[in-house]
Structure 1
Amino acid sequence: MRAAFDLSPLYRSTVGFERLVDMLDQATRVESMTNWPPYNIEKFGDDAYRITMAVAGFSPDEIELVQQESALSVNGQKHAEPEDTQVLHRGIATRAFKQTFNLADHVKVTGASLENGLLTIDLKREIPEALKPRRIAISTGTAPEAQPQIIEHQPEAPSKAA
């Protein structure tokens, strides 16, 4: 069992990091369902991610993926077994699970598949063009009507008629 940490000093000494401190606080709590089902998080390049979860025994219709704002919830609920089935030994876990992943801004689920007992969820960070950094040239002219020249590609704003 992990020792509990008091994160209250962080709340008193930080501004604007409440979400980060809340995530740290949640991570320090011992919860029985956080370790099951086991999963991997992989990063491919700068903007592509993959979550792989071991969900042996679950079919696609028993798993629900929901992305709501910056959270991805993965819920699994097994259907009831037929009454004529008698299980002599249960080694494959069939308990319900709920796993929530906090996603960074602009990260979207691009696909999901279930193969060989592994649920694979592909994610991609898609930063809107308006939020990407852009480089602006500095003009040397002293005329007040001189407009800064954009060096890198920027979406064109609608022009106003003069």
Structure 2
Amino acid sequence: MTHVTPFSNPFLLGFETVEKTLRRISKTGEAYPAYNIERLHKNDDTNHIRITLAVAGFKVNNLNILLDDNQLIIHGKQTDNQNHQYLYHGIAARQFQRTFVLAEGMYVTNAELKNGLLSINLHQPKSKKQIKQIPIKVSSGELYQSQSVKE
């Protein structure tokens, strides 16, 4: 049986990796840790975005931020302290992995851990529209360059 997705359209070529990434991310539906995504400012040339994750109880050496192609992956690993004798243990020591897919050209400018919040600042330069005329080779081996088509 064929799995139909929005990317199954025959006019969408080369989007297999995007589809695979989105499928993997959709499987990680856990809501921990809570996060915000905010636009700091936007102008004609750039877009500045901040992702803030609530990571109370995590030390900087328990957190890891990776950029793998266009995927921003945040790991948090926390271990229970076995030396404590709890009367009540209600704060869980959990680990997490949170993944965000970044648009093409977007990159991380910096990350900061302050007051239990991990903030990751992103910069997205405006992409430039590219139109390229493709010559057509005819049977005589000659290249035919058509007239520009205006949109």
TM-score of Structure 1 vs Structure 2, range by shorter chain: 0.5 to 0.7
3-state SS in 1 of match to 2:56: coil
How big is the shift at 1:42?
0.9
Q: Is the CA contact 1:57–1:92 (under 8 Å) kept in the aligned structure 2?
A: no
Q: Give 2:58's aligned residue.
A: 58
Q: Is the CA contact 2:70–2:103 (under 8 Å) kept in the aligned structure 1?
A: yes
Correspondences of 1:53-132 after superposition (within 5 Å)? 53-83=53-83, 85-126=84-125, 132=128
3-state SS in 2 of match to 1:91: coil
Unaligned runs of 5+ in 2: 131-151
Choose between structure 1 and 2 for higher RCO, CA contacts under 8 A separated by at least 6 residues: 2
RMSD over aligned CA atoms reads 2.7
Q: Give 2:34's aligned residue.
A: 38
Distance 1:69 1:106 in 2: 10
Read off the aligned partner of 1:66 and give its amino acid letter.
L
Greater Cα radius of gyration, structure 1 or 2 = 1
3-state SS in 2 of match to 1:8: coil
Unaligned runs of 5+ in 1: 1-5, 135-162
Q: Is the CA contact 2:79–2:93 (under 8 Å) kept in the aligned structure 1?
A: no
Distance 1:9 1:64 in 2: 32
**Which stretch has the larger CA shift, 111-120 or 13-22?**
13-22
Task: Return the TM-score normalized by structure 1.
Answer: 0.63
How big is the shift at 1:105?
1.0
1:35-81 deviation line (CA, Å, top 9, x unaligned): 11111111122310000101111011100011122011100111451
Q: Which has the higher strand share?
A: 2
> How many residue pairs end up in the alignment?
123
Residues 22, 118 of structure 1: alpha-carbon distance in 2 compared, 3 angstrom cutoff: same
